[in-house]
Amino acid sequence: MRTRWIAGLLALLAPAQARPQDDPAELTLEVFGGADVVPPDVVESGIAQDRIEGVLGANALVTYSIGDTRIVVGAGTEIYPVDGRFDRHTIGAALRHDIRLSSDGRTSLRLGAGYDYVFGEDGRVFDRVEGEVQLIRRHSREHATTARIRYGYRNQSEERFTGFDQDELLVELRHNWRPGGGRAAFNGSLIWLEHDAEAERFSYSGYGARLTGRFEFSDNLALYGRASWVVRDYKAPFSAQFPVEREDERIQLSAGVEAGVAPGLQLFGEAGYVGNPSNIPVRDFSGVTGRGGLRAAL
């Protein structure tokens, strides 16, 4: 499940590719199927929880670029055939603007903002507004370092959870390495999370690390991999049934391939693993994930 749908897709759209001035708009369509972690706001009554289920989905995005500004609006859907309560439909928009801070263009400030509205079979699930600032220093054609702060506010439907409205803060230090300025690229991040929810049992502090890699064999074939590790320490007892402060550790691994099959048409597929060891049985799960589909850029 994408927790920040449209802002995440904006980050996936190749920022380094400048579009011609006479063609500033791009439409991206995507259809996919696979297995993924179900949304956290639906919990079964039993102790054992199967939190990974089959999913079908589609996304449509319009990206508009003008100078150092990029705007994206779109809609997406994720359907879980096993249970309609997991289905999620999203509409949203995001904006990103780069400001040069040095004459050589190596130091810049990136400002971003986004809004998501998410609904399911019974109406609104939540909406989120967020903003971020990134300070980027490009040391050379091989190395760049980014310091990032993101703040968001999640407004949860009271029909699903009470007390889940929350302020969300992320602080990240990231380094990008492109050996020889070539086709391989690696990113490593250290992150800090602080979520302050209306109910203390949903509030937590967290920390972790992320590592991504990508190698482009050609203009039409690329392999990529991702690994992340995040620890979350909650600030109040989870429930009357489990009267202890929740402690989670999320581990995610994935590898995938993207292959161009025609101009503007791309096949993609990935497989991975997610584990969420927790001292709360209904939040403890692990399993295999995967996704494959077709993406078109028009």
Q: Is the dihedral of CA 193, 231, 158, 80 positive or negative?
A: positive
Q: Which of 232, 231, 236, 238 is nearest to 281 (CA)?
A: 238
- Rounded Cα distance, 50 and 44, in Å: 9
pTM of the model: 0.89
The answer to whether the beta carbons of residues 115 and 93 sit under 8 Å apart is yes
Query: What's the half-sphere exposure (Cβ side, CA atoms, 13 Å) at 56?
Result: 5
Tokens representing residue 264 in the block: 């503007």
Domain residue limits, the chain: 5-297
Measured at the CA of 20, the angle between CA 19 and CA 26, to 5 degrees, comes to 50
pLDDT (tens place) for every residue of the chain, 298 residues total? 455 666 665 555 544 344 445 578 999 999 999 999 998 877 666 666 678 999 999 999 999 999 999 999 999 999 999 999 999 999 999 999 999 999 998 999 999 999 999 999 889 999 999 999 999 999 999 999 999 999 999 999 987 778 889 999 999 999 999 999 899 999 999 999 999 999 999 999 999 999 999 999 999 999 999 999 999 999 999 888 889 999 999 999 999 999 999 999 999 999 999 999 999 888 899 999 999 999 999 8
**CATH H-level, domain 5-297: superfamily:** monomeric porin ompg (2.40.160.40)
- Rounded Cα distance, 277 and 5, in Å: 25
The DSSP call for residue 161 is -
